Every structure is written in C-alpha cells, then in structure tokens.
Amino acid sequence: MALRILLLTGWLLLGVAGAVAHWYGPGVERQKLDSVAQSVRAAEAAAAGEDYAKAVEEYEAALKALPPARTAEARKIQLEKAKAQILGQQLADAHAELKALVDEMAADPAADPKLLAEARSAQANSQYYNTWLMRLEGLGRDDWEPEIEAARQAYKLLAEDAEKRGDTAEAQKQREDLEAAVRLARMDLSELQGLNIPKQCKGCCSCRGSKPKFGKVPPKNNDIRGAGGAPPIEDTGN
C-alpha cells in the first residue's frame, strides 16, 4: 500500500512539473503569439476604419509581444506598420522605418523575396512623395534629387524582377511608377504647383518633421499620374 501511494504521489508530481514546464516554456510563447494575433487584428480593423494612429499603436504592441526569434513575422508587421504610418500622416517615420527594414532584408539571404519587393515598393513610394513635398517647400535639387533617384532605381529594379518572374501586371505597374519618378524630377516647380496636391498637404509643412500633413492619394482628376503619374500609396493589409 505504501509503495502504491508513493508511486501515485510521484505520478501527480510529474503532472504538476509538466504543467509548470508548459506554462514557463511553450505555453508562454503561445500566450505571446495569441497577444500578437489579437493586436494585429485590432490594427487591421483600425486601418479599415481609417484610424491609422490606432493601427500604428496596435502594430507596435504586436511587435513588443512577438518572441525575438520570430523574424519573418516581425518584418511583416513592421511593413504593415509603415504603411499605416504613411496613411496616418507620419511620412517621415515611415520613411525611416522602411529604409531600415529594406536594408536589413537586403542583407539577409533568407529574407522572403516577395516581402522584400513589397517593402522596396513602399519605400520607393515614400521617397516619391517625400520628393514631392520637398519640392513644394522650395528645397533645392541637392536636397530632393537623391530621394527621387533612389525611388527611380527601386522602381527599375522591381520592374526587372517582375519581368523575370513573368508577372507582367506588376512589371507594368512598376514601369509606370518609374516613369512617374522621371517626370517628377523633370517637372518645373511652377507646373508642379499647378497640380492638385495630396489632401491635407498645403505645401507649408516640413517633410523632415515627425508628422507631415499628408493625405492618402492626390485627386485623380488632376494628379501627377495623369501626367505620367504618382504611384498610389497602398492601403494597409492589402
């Protein structure tokens, strides 16, 4: 009887030990991943309702909760956060984060090539619109030309990569964006000033500030895409 009680006690202790190990091991990571998923869903819902500040907050919460080893997931969330920042009038912040993300992924042979291409496209769009604002502010060519040249090079690379993959639709889109970048660089300032500018941007804010006034896309009836045009900013989550 004593032996049976001893064995039963040992079995129960092993069960408790297993539960504790699960709670402080895989169970903790599972809880963190559940928290990440919840924050991402909240961010997507906020972005769908055009509450981009809330979306950015939720993406930041997701990144904080994400286990360090989840590099691929972190990069996806960072990209969506940057898109929300662009749409939420945080162009400068998005610009900096996209540069860091693209540089990191470009240096990693294991990085997802599709996600890298998407990040490069988003970065090029931010550079394009940053150039637009810089020119409207009257900054000199030495200030804005590196921005638009970087965007042009990115669009060219993306178009070539799409052609290699046989993705003709994507290649065409990137070629149009490349043409838009060339036209923006060549356009006279007076001509640029005569076009409708992005919503909420009155040409008086600093594109180098933390929160430039920046709307979603230029009006389609008189925007730069009509003159060979500006690439549209892609919405988050799509």
* pLDDT tens, residue order, the chain (238 aa): 554 554 445 445 555 445 444 445 556 778 878 888 999 999 999 999 999 999 999 999 999 999 988 999 999 999 999 999 988 888 889 999 999 999 999 999 999 999 999 999 999 999 998 999 899 999 999 999 999 999 999 999 999 999 999 999 999 999 999 999 999 999 999 888 888 654 433 333 333 333 333 333 333 333 444 333 444 434 334 4
- For the chain, give percent helix, strand, coil, nearest 5: 70, 0, 30
**pLDDT score for 5:** 54
The answer to whether 136 and 197 have CB atoms below 8 angstroms apart is: yes
Q: Which stretches within 49-140 are classed as H helix?
A: 52-65, 71-87, 91-106, 113-136
pTM: 0.69
**pLDDT score for 77:** 95
On the 0-12 / 13-18 / 19+ scale of CB atoms within 10 A, 225 is: middle
On the 0-12 / 13-18 / 19+ scale of CB atoms within 10 A, 109 is: exposed
Rounded-to-integer distance, Cα 162 and Cα 118, Å: 12
Please check whether residue 8 lies inside any domain of the structure: no
Please check whether residue 98 lies inside any domain of the structure: yes
**pLDDT score for 156:** 95
Domain, as residue range, for 103: 23-227
Please check whether residue 152 lies inside any domain of the structure: yes
Please check whether residue 2 lies inside any domain of the structure: no
Please check whether residue 14 lies inside any domain of the structure: no
Please check whether residue 159 lies inside any domain of the structure: yes
**pLDDT score for 182:** 94
How many CB atoms within 10 Å of residue 212? 22
**pLDDT score for 23:** 44
What are the φ and ψ backbone dihedral angles of 209, each rounded to 5 degrees? -75, 175
Which tokens belong to 71? Answer: 């590099």
How many distinct structural domains can be found in the chain? 1
Unique residue bearing structure tokens 């007076």: 190
Mention every residue, 6+ apart, whose C-beta is less than 8 A from residue 168: 162
Any idea what the CATH number is for the domain that residue 76 is in? 1.25.40.10
